[in-house]
Structure 1
Amino acid sequence: MNETNFIDMLNCPQEYMLQAGGEYELISEMSFLRSIVKYKNCKIIIYGAGQRCEYLISWLKMENVPVEFVLDQDIKKHNHKVNNCIIYHIDKVPEELRGKKYLVLVSTVYYETETKKILYALFQNGLKNIIYPFDKQYNLAPYRYDWAYYYLHHKDELLQIYKELEDDRSRDILFEYVKALVTNCVYRGGHSKTCNKYFDEYIPLENENFLNIGSYVGDTIFYFIENRQEQFEKIYAVEGESGIYQRLCENIAILPRVLQEKIELTNTYLNATNSKYYADKKITLINMDIEGMEKEVIVGLSECIKKNRPVLAICAYHKPEDIVELPLLIHEIVDNYKIKFRKYAPPYSNHLENGELVMYAIPAERSKEEK
């Protein structure tokens, strides 16, 4: 995949929707929406007046699908506007609007689990003529709109990252990843083996000092120990959630004493401040999977990174801006690092193919391509 294809995809995603195939294309869903509005003589309303709603309205406008009004349960938002659409509290919809026919789109993070409750609440508040068309066959995954909106409004930054990537495989993965999100299609790029996640794109060290941030129950630690054939100097394992941390401790206790003694366990959520604890530690490898806090923690680890020049293997799929801001941040902190992307999760469903994208930031002296 070349630079021209990448630019074309960002400038005209509709063309790639038609090429992608599969059953989940956004273009089909928008046609379906427009048909319902036309043939059922109804108006579109959105439930949930958060950031997802703002992006969803923008996307619908681009597709010439107008929104009548927005509903929310937060009384403070009543009579305010989001993206020029009026917001009504669910209990305060004007009487003259209650008898009309509406197609409701749910834009909250509770889309999967709360839809029935939301529709029942609408019915109880007099909005009885509701069409809710999106079941498993027609399912607008709301989080996609903020991702698509971000990418289509940051084309220059995306192109910069694309051109600076270390290898063609990374460029192909980035192309397919962004395409899946701006077209609402299934990710069709390549995947690497999960057992190699964080460990297969750089030259390993015999005396690796591994900072494992977001250790969960220890799965990555066990992968690491197996991958390095038990040869390492130190593991710093950090997990914030107390219940999961307890399971982590129990799992580490399975290991031989000689390995346990080389593992330092910490129950905390790292941030830009407390991550400075590692500034004076010898760290040669860092991985993070911390639900969107990656950028903040990298900032906190900047002195550690400058001093030690570790390999970084960072999850880059929790926020749409991760694939742009994380590589740029690494280049701000330290020179002569190579950036790669690798994708690990198989496409189990239409909701998960933007997951398990890892950014590798590799110092030139540990890059396989340099040797």
Structure 2
Amino acid sequence: MKEIAAEVPAAPWRELDRPLILYGAGNLGKMAGKYLRFIGIPFLYVVDANSKMYENDIEWSGIPVLSPSEVSNSDKKNSLLAVCISTIPFNPLFQSLQAQGWECIVPFYDITEVFQGRHPLKNGWFSGALTDKDMRGTNEALSGWADDISRAHHLQFLAWRCLRQEWVFADAPVTTADRYFIPQVVGQFTGNESFLDIGAHHGEVCVSFADIVHGRFKSIVAVEPDSQNLTELSKVFLKHFPDSVRGRINVLDVVISDGRCSEHFFEGHGYTSQLSSLGEKGVVTVSIDDLQLSPTFLKVHVEGWELFALRGGLNTLRRCRPIVAITAYHNRQGIWELPVWCMNSLPNYRFFTRMHGWCGTGLVIYALPDR
């Protein structure tokens, strides 16, 4: 921790002064393409080692998807390559791309900091210098974790957000396949869970939950306010769940915050849809407590509004004492405010954190009640 605080913090990008090329045509690449088209920033093409997989992909219609061998030396020298992959370590990929001749390489999320006035996506935030208050809060969080893997992953997160350094701990591997369902969580499932999924997107986590418990659950409530996401979620549920199971599943199209308030919602942007002053849709938020539910397992992924959501659900949390999984990587609150709030607000819980992605993404806090 002292080593991180002692170094000069990394500085965010201020402008794009080169033609842009995307690297990675998968889910993050598709989101990046949609993002850039929305804010009006052109890009030349996409590079992917498995380019043939995307030849007929409708989401890349009209956009060339090239293999690395098809890229000219001139483009490698003069363009900015935005890496749209967060499921593998960045440093080895960076070194491999440099060896291929690319001269300017950056994680895609970092360049989104340039356009905060046009789009609310903020996964590329930089922490800036850590204050004395940050140091005290972070040390409190580090002391509160239940295992050393949590402390290692917290430091790994800090090193990226503060310094843009990729720290790797051999005994604390990043796992991308078990987000929300680490062994400590699954080990507490009883076969009669009531799952409340705040920020359900297309229902992927609900489906994973049902599969993990082999269909043995009491109820699922999926909360998703984005109308386009809801359409896809309905298709996923219809495909995956038989009629006998769908009777135990409810979908709510409400926006969760810390209480009832009129806000703007940035709609129609997939998993980046969120509360934002840039949004054109007016909504009235509600709290988790307003839902009057009794979850035994709560997952919250709301693009940086997690602390608001938890504050508005404190009565429910204390009444029901659910297993809790909260994303913590969307803003600076993940450094210490969010974990410390959980640790101070939920007595007789054990707290873990895990990195489920690279480039400072995929950090999830887990709160497990003593039972």
TM-score bucket of the superposed structures, by smaller chain: 0.5 to 0.7
- 1:8 paired with 2:14, answer no
CA distance 1:223–1:151, shift in 2 (3 Å): farther
- Equivalent position of 1:335 in the other structure: 347
Q: Is the 8 A contact 2:180 2:299 kept in 1?
A: no
- 1:302 paired with 2:314, answer yes
CA distance 1:195–1:184, shift in 2 (3 Å): closer
Question: C-alpha separation between the residues in 2 aligned to 1:264 and 1:112?
Answer: 32
- Equivalent position of 1:265 in the other structure: 251
One-letter amino acid of the structure 2 residue matched with residue 11 of structure 1: A
Q: Is the 8 A contact 1:278 1:304 kept in 2?
A: no
- 1:253 paired with 2:238, answer yes
Higher relative contact order (CA 8 A, sep 6+): 2
CA distance 1:283–1:145, shift in 2 (3 Å): closer
SS in 1 for 2:128: helix
Q: TM-score, normalised by structure 1?
A: 0.61
Q: 1:225 aligns with which of 190, 197, 210?
A: 210
**Residues 145-154 or 218-227, more deviating:** 145-154
Q: How many residues align?
A: 253
- Equivalent position of 2:177 in the other structure: 194
- 1:178 paired with 2:158, answer yes
**Residues 181-190 or 356-365, more deviating:** 181-190
Question: C-alpha separation between the residues in 2 aligned to 1:309 and 1:155?
Answer: 30
Gaps of 5+ in 2: 17-34, 44-77, 82-102, 114-122, 260-285
Q: Is the 8 A contact 1:239 1:269 kept in 2?
A: yes
SS in 2 for 1:236: strand
One-letter amino acid of the structure 2 residue matched with residue 262 of structure 1: R
Deviations 1:51-82 (A, max 9, x none): xxxxxxxxxxxxxxxxxxxxxxxxxxxxxxxx
One-letter amino acid of the structure 1 residue matched with residue 316 of structure 2: C
Gaps of 5+ in 1: 1-5, 15-25, 31-44, 49-108, 118-132, 348-352, 366-371
Q: Is the 8 A contact 1:339 1:362 kept in 2?
A: yes
CA distance 1:205–1:13, shift in 2 (3 Å): farther
Deviations 1:102-123 (A, max 9, x none): xxxxxxx979965679xxxxxx
- Equivalent position of 1:37 in the other structure: none
One-letter amino acid of the structure 2 residue matched with residue 135 of structure 1: L
CA distance 1:216–1:305, shift in 2 (3 Å): same
SS in 2 for 1:360: strand
One-letter amino acid of the structure 2 residue matched with residue 175 of structure 1: L
- Equivalent position of 1:234 in the other structure: 219
Q: Is the 8 A contact 1:151 1:158 kept in 2?
A: no
The structural deviation recorded for 1:187 is: 5.2
Question: C-alpha separation between the residues in 2 aligned to 1:288 and 1:278?
Answer: 16
- 1:148 paired with 2:143, answer no
Deviations 1:136-180 (A, max 9, x none): 333573649953315456122111111111100001111111112
Q: Is the 8 A contact 2:140 2:340 kept in 1?
A: no
One-letter amino acid of the structure 2 residue matched with residue 230 of structure 1: G
Question: C-alpha separation between the residues in 2 aligned to 1:242 and 1:300?
Answer: 23
Q: Is the 8 A contact 1:315 1:359 kept in 2?
A: yes
Q: Is the 8 A contact 2:153 2:354 kept in 1?
A: yes
User: Alpha carbon RMSD of aligned pairs, Å?
Assistant: 3.2
Q: TM-score, normalised by structure 2?
A: 0.61
Question: C-alpha separation between the residues in 2 aligned to 1:46 and 1:148?
Answer: 15
Deviations 1:312-361 (A, max 9, x none): 1000001122231112222343212221111112x4xxxxx111110001
Percent of aligned positions with the same letter in both sequences? 18
- 1:158 paired with 2:138, answer yes
